[in-house]
Structure 1
Amino acid sequence: MSHTVGQQRDSRWFALVVLCAGMLMIILDGTIVNVALPVIQADLDFSQSGLAWVINAYLIPFGGLLLLAGRTGDLIGRKRMFLGGLSVFTAASLLCGLATSQGLLIAARFVQGVGGAMAAAVILGMIVTMFPEKGEQARAIAVFSFVAAAGGSIGLLAGGVLTEAISWHWIFFVNVPIGVVAFALALRSVPGERGVGLREGADVLGAALVTGGLMLGVYTIVKAADYGWGSTHTLLFGAGAVVLLVGFVARQATSAKPLLPLRILKNRNVAGANLIQVLMVAGMFGMFFLGALYLERVLDYDPLQIGLGFLPVAVGIGGLSLGASARVNARFGERNVLIGALLLVAAGLALFTRAPIDANYFVDVFPAVTLMGIGAGLGFPAMMTLAMSDATKDDSGVASGLVNTTQQVGGALGLAVLATVATSHTNGLVAEGSPVVEAMTSGYRVAFGISAGLVALAALLAVTVLRQPKVSVEQEELVPVTIG
């Protein structure tokens, strides 16, 4: 009997590894493209504003469909949704790699985002269901947090290696064998469970409202660089985005089968942690995008050097998410750890605001990315735990989808705002006669300053909104350090 129980425990941890491998592939694609952007721009003749859509075409359907995918996973079974998402994502990756035009690449990236949403929306809910015991659940969430947080920074290094060694097409082709293997392993190792049934229904109208609102909002922000923030175009499209998002909230309040049951947001830790994640990811994701452009266009780094330049972020997140963060959270509490972590990230971003034209990496870049790596490595596991607190088994898919949604929405909106502000500031200086490199550097500095402000605001919210959950004696005794 004990042998059977041991086998079941081992299979759960292997299933966790498979799920996280799928998640890593999906998260990587959010940033692996960043270091290849200059090469893609030159190869496919993208404009500066059009280039941002190579990223946003992925992030918008990803963020907009996560809630619907999470709910549908609850209805038809999360394993089915995960496998379906892997299939769509892998096929779309192949199309991205084959793309030879702007339109095909952006369209394939959009389909990638759909597949990514289908798979990613249910992973955290599956993990919470597989590991109901609090101590094991904390260890499993720490692993997931590491993958979700470190994936973005690892993507920068992987993108640099592949772009430099082969071509930008391979940052997408590499997903194909990984996706096939992950599908085969998940089919055999991930436990299946029956969904509650399609008769329970999914809020398709709600999904259309939130996805349309997000897409229109990001489009409005990106185009503001061309039309101006106070133009009729920007104001009308921005108002349309607000109307759609308000309509989504109203729909959730009145629908018999809401996509996002508003009761989930009554818990101040759940609502607060998700809002904080929007701000934190907005600041960090914008830094990755613009930081990569700064290293390439101002400091003349090649793709591999850019990836290596951001390596301290990956090392910091990886080294802390799986080990020290769990002990620190157990010792000081998730709320306190998150506050300190956000301040570290904000400090790192603030250092980037002094980025000079002739920067020395170890003086001007390394301290900033190191602080961000430490802060993110400590902060993301604490934030994930708070965001999933008090989620019931029936709502775990929706709660998981919400966590992933706020992460992707933060990335998409942050990227749109910061890239647009940097471009507008740069264009204004060039029009006044400033040298192009000086104007670009000044634009990046302004954006980095806004990033630091967003994360500082997140820290303020953590202080004022979050409450440390009550910890049982059993939980205090469990310090999640290793797997299995």
Structure 2
Amino acid sequence: MACTAYFLVLFDASVMTVALPSIQTGLGFAPAGLQWVVSSYTLAFAGLLILGGRLADLYGPTRVFLGGLAVFTASGLIGGLAADPAMLIAARAAQGVGAAVLAPLSLTLLTTTFAEGPRRTRALTAWAAVGLTAGAAGNLFGGVLTEYLSWRSVLLVNVPIGVPALLFAARIRIPGANPGRKARLDLPGAVLATAALTLLTLGVCEAHMQGWSDPDTALPLAAGVGALVAFVVVETRVAAPLMPPGLFRLPGIGRGNVAMLLAGASQVPTWYFLTLTMQDVLGYSAAQAGAGFVPHAAVMLLVGLGLIPRLMRRVQARVLIAAGALIAAVGYWWQSHITPESGYVTGILGPAVAISCGGGLVSTPLTTTVTSGVGAQDAGAASGLLNTTRQFGGAFGLALVLTLTTSGTSGTPAALADAYGNAFRAIALIMVALAALTPLLPALGDARGAGPALPNEPPAARTDRASL
């Protein structure tokens, strides 16, 4: 159930990409307004992730999961039936709200159900594999559905997945992280966190359209930083903070989320520029471009489900992260040399194997490192932070990489190949930076140590963490 919810969230984030031209024609979007089909989802999703992650800690995972999934599924139905641009944008924003609840909760369900060790590793491996393949699956099915059915089908497809998941979730009891905990919401912290993340994401989204020095970029970024500073001050002074400051004393949380930021900064640009490369440089149709992502998904599943559980029993997580980042960097560098004359095998398939193998080696070990040592009562907050870091990293990475391609985003396929090649070289450098950071990550033995006491953590929980 957790993996289904996570798949829906990430699938929906990528499935719209290849459908945008058809949506513009079908609903009569102005060129400047089309971006809000994606941006409305992104802003709501990124802005509410920390709050969404904390809700399950406070009010119990069952009702929060059902509410988030119901909002997500219903808004997909409304978006698929949209009669005008405003209706579609509003539905996409509502989907972002549902996604902000489901994404962190899907991870919380696993970290509170499975104790640290081999069983949690297997569960996180399945969760991470679903996340890695959801983007590729979104591009694949987005192209097929758009070309052979309608752009509306890329939204309506959420209904036959979401409704059975709702019925299943309603029939079982999801174990709560701390059922005896009194429900208290840090309202000032929630408002400031949402404002900070929304403004920062808005500024980053504007950066790749207007440039980093434009007022439309600078003002939201400055306001977002101010709200973030205010959030940090508030969290140190309230009795029940939305994001307990004690979490950042855990080595996996602080350094691990920096690594997660870099990992996220590579993922979103990867799907974006691969889609453009296959269509603009190689001349593939939407359906052909979608099918071109099949090897990415297949290799990620093979590595994630077949190799990672075995490797993590023998190799330190940070060693796997470093190796995966370097292998992916080689794949991106290879991908940067594509030309209009490249065939699929050397232009897409070869780099796909290296990129996907490296990504598969990074994902589960990094998630395990970041979530290790977190008490059950704060699992939702940690999951919300992890997803926030990855989501913001993706938006920031896309904006940063797009600045390297603006001079060549129109013209001949050869010019576009050069521009997109710069993008893939930039992503390769991000992965090298991730590999360079890994010596600073804790070994899992350290990350699982007792660490300092967390707010509201009973002594027994601290003892359990120490024994783990």
1:54-453 → structure 2 map (5 Å cutoff): 54-132=37-115, 134-193=117-176, 196=179, 199-224=182-207, 227-419=210-402, 421-422=404-405, 424-426=406-408, 435-453=411-429
Compute the TM-score of the two structures, normalised by the length of structure 1. 0.85
Query: What displacement does 1:445 show?
Result: 2.4
Residue matched to 1:478: none
The one-letter amino acid of 1:469's match is G
Query: What displacement does 1:192 show?
Result: 4.3
Deviations 1:210-260 (A, max 9, x none): 332333233333434554433444333332222222222222233322211
Deviations 1:437-472 (A, max 9, x none): 444333322222222222221111113334342599
- Unmatched 5+ residue regions in structure 2? 449-468
The 3 A distance-change label for structure 1 pair 454 and 101 is: farther
Confirm or deny: 8 A CA contact 2:250 2:447 kept in the other structure: no
Confirm or deny: 8 A CA contact 1:59 1:409 kept in the other structure: no
Separation in 2, partners of 1:363, 1:194: 49
Confirm or deny: 8 A CA contact 1:60 1:408 kept in the other structure: no
Confirm or deny: 8 A CA contact 1:220 1:237 kept in the other structure: yes
Residue matched to 1:454: 430
Separation in 2, partners of 1:52, 1:442: 25
Confirm or deny: 8 A CA contact 2:372 2:444 kept in the other structure: no
**Farther-moved stretch of structure 1 (437-446 vs 373-382):** 437-446
The one-letter amino acid of 1:426's match is G
Separation in 2, partners of 1:436, 1:192: 56
Separation in 2, partners of 1:53, 1:277: 26
The 3 A distance-change label for structure 1 pair 39 and 293 is: farther
The 3 A distance-change label for structure 1 pair 302 and 130 is: same
The 3 A distance-change label for structure 1 pair 351 and 66 is: same
The 3 A distance-change label for structure 1 pair 208 and 166 is: same
The 3 A distance-change label for structure 1 pair 103 and 299 is: farther
Query: What displacement does 1:173 show?
Result: 0.4
Deviations 1:297-329 (A, max 9, x none): 232211221122111211111112122111111
The one-letter amino acid of 1:141's match is L
Deviations 1:322-355 (A, max 9, x none): 2211111111121111110111222222222223
**Farther-moved stretch of structure 1 (223-232 vs 406-415):** 223-232
Separation in 1, partners of 2:205, 2:387: 23
**Farther-moved stretch of structure 1 (119-128 vs 218-227):** 218-227
The 3 A distance-change label for structure 1 pair 225 and 464 is: closer
The 3 A distance-change label for structure 1 pair 102 and 165 is: same
Compute the TM-score of the two structures, normalised by the length of structure 2. 0.88
The 3 A distance-change label for structure 1 pair 155 and 126 is: same
The one-letter amino acid of 2:286's match is P
Query: What displacement does 1:395 show?
Result: 1.0
The 3 A distance-change label for structure 1 pair 149 and 273 is: farther
Confirm or deny: 8 A CA contact 1:59 1:411 kept in the other structure: no
Residue matched to 2:457: none
Confirm or deny: 8 A CA contact 1:213 1:245 kept in the other structure: yes
Query: What displacement does 1:148 show?
Result: 2.0
Root-mean-square deviation (CA, aligned residues, Å) is 2.5
The 3 A distance-change label for structure 1 pair 192 and 266 is: closer
Separation in 1, partners of 2:215, 2:123: 49
SS at match of 1:168: coil
The one-letter amino acid of 1:315's match is A
- % identical equivalent positions: 34
SS at match of 1:395: helix
The 3 A distance-change label for structure 1 pair 448 and 471 is: closer
Confirm or deny: 8 A CA contact 2:43 2:202 kept in the other structure: no
Confirm or deny: 8 A CA contact 2:251 2:442 kept in the other structure: yes
The 3 A distance-change label for structure 1 pair 281 and 295 is: same
